[in-house]
Structure 1
Amino acid sequence: MTDLAQMVELQQSLTILGTIGGLALALLGAGLAAVLPGIGSAKGTGIAGEAGTGLLCQDPSKFGKVMILQVIPGTQGLYGLVVWFFAIFRMGLLSGTLPELTIAQGMQYFFACLPMALGGLFSAIAQGRVAAGSINILAKKPDDWSKGMVLCITVEFYAILSLLASMLMIINISA
């Protein structure tokens, strides 16, 4: 009798683990999609901001252009938040009930969020470095500062590809 009760208890715990485990994996992926690009954006805007403060000590009139160059690496954090929101919406978390996701569905959400999580993290930091270099262009050749903007936008393209990859994968996860 105790063996049967133990087997029933084990089966129930595996069912609960499967439900909670799938949701946990999905939430981990969505959370990484929000947090890692946010960390990258904080780092990237910080790098650009450090370069900008040096220029602004010399020429405060360039504040508007410096601010534009500093803000650009912050877009990845926004893209990550969009993926997070879309993922939790597709999971059904906004319906007011806790969704039941299988481990397979949880893994699908987890891996669908990874392009934005990793692409956003690394591209924001790289873009911050490019923006810092662009601030150097602004300091030495103010008329050519738009060339630095083009260089920053080149890095932005890869953040957009990460966003697109994650969104297309999330859209194709079956409920």
Structure 2
Amino acid sequence: MDVKITFIDFLTKFGGPIMAILGAALAALFAGIGSARGVGIVGESASGLIAEDPEKFGKSLILQVLPGTQGFYGFITALIILQRIGLFSGNMNIPLEKGFLLLAAALPMAFVGYSSAIAQGKAAAAGIQILAKKPEKFFNGVIYAVMVETYAVIALITSIIMIVKVV
């Protein structure tokens, strides 16, 4: 018996889950890459400070952790998408149009997560300079870095609202 499946048949049957999983992967991937870069930027900056003044490790670590939150937000976005499409229950039966909508819903977190994590890494690295020169102004540097976080949180909320409205 020769069974041929056309691309349209394949897309109709499996396209919804594929597009949704692609969205989940992009949210986790881009936000994770951005966080890794941001955390790395701060780590490079903090290494010089810690070599000179090891007592400032704890405060520099606070600044280094900040750009890592976007990767966490991307992971949360991916988990919500995967849960909503039934990946964990084994019942992934969503139509193609909903899959595309979930892909679109993941994009705010993917792109804003990527760019804001890098920008936050740069702001936090500048905070390391504040810590080095004027330790009493440390929290000013933290505030500058946290301001960038606002846009990652907005992207997370936007993605979650869209995901919940789709499925």
Q: Would the TM-score normalized by the shorter structure come out above 0.5? A: yes
Q: Does 1:44 align with 2:38?
A: yes
Q: Does 1:53 align with 2:47?
A: yes
Unpaired runs of at least 5, structure 1: 1-7
What is the CA–CA distance in structure 1 between the aligned matches of 2:55 and 2:82, rounded to whole Å? 44
Q: Does 1:85 align with 2:79?
A: yes
What is the CA–CA distance in structure 1 between the aligned matches of 2:166 and 2:149, rounded to whole Å? 26
- Normalised to the residue count of structure 2, the TM-score between the two structures is 0.94
Q: Does 1:32 align with 2:30?
A: no
* Alignment-derived partner of residue 141 in structure 1: 134
What is the CA–CA distance in structure 1 between the aligned matches of 2:13 and 2:21, rounded to whole Å? 12
* 1:97-118 CA-partner distances (Å, limit 9, x unpaired): 3x12222111101000000001
* Alignment-derived partner of residue 114 in structure 1: 107
What SS does the corresponding residue of 1:95 show, helix, strand or coil?
coil
What SS does the corresponding residue of 1:93 show, helix, strand or coil?
coil
* 1:2-25 CA-partner distances (Å, limit 9, x unpaired): xxxxxx956x75333212122111
Unpaired runs of at least 5, structure 2: none
Q: Does 1:125 align with 2:112?
A: no
Structure index of larger Rg: 1
Q: Name the aligned partner's letter for residue 84 of structure 1.
A: A
Q: Does 1:69 align with 2:57?
A: no
What is the CA–CA distance in structure 2 between the aligned matches of 1:96 and 1:21, rounded to whole Å? 16
* 1:118-140 CA-partner distances (Å, limit 9, x unpaired): 11000000000000000000001
Q: Name the aligned partner's letter for residue 149 of structure 1.
A: V
Report the count of equivalent residues: 166
* Alignment-derived partner of residue 158 in structure 1: 151
What is the CA–CA distance in structure 2 between the aligned matches of 1:101 and 1:15, rounded to whole Å? 14
Q: Name the aligned partner's letter for residue 104 of structure 2.
A: F
* Alignment-derived partner of residue 23 in structure 1: 17
What SS does the corresponding residue of 2:24 show, helix, strand or coil?
helix
Q: Name the aligned partner's letter for residue 164 of structure 1.
A: I
**Greater CA drift, 48-57 or 99-108:** 99-108
Following superposition, the deviation at residue 33 of structure 1 comes to 0.6
CA RMSD of aligned residues (A): 1.6
Q: Name the aligned partner's letter for residue 156 of structure 1.
A: E
Identity %: 46
Q: Does 1:94 align with 2:94?
A: no
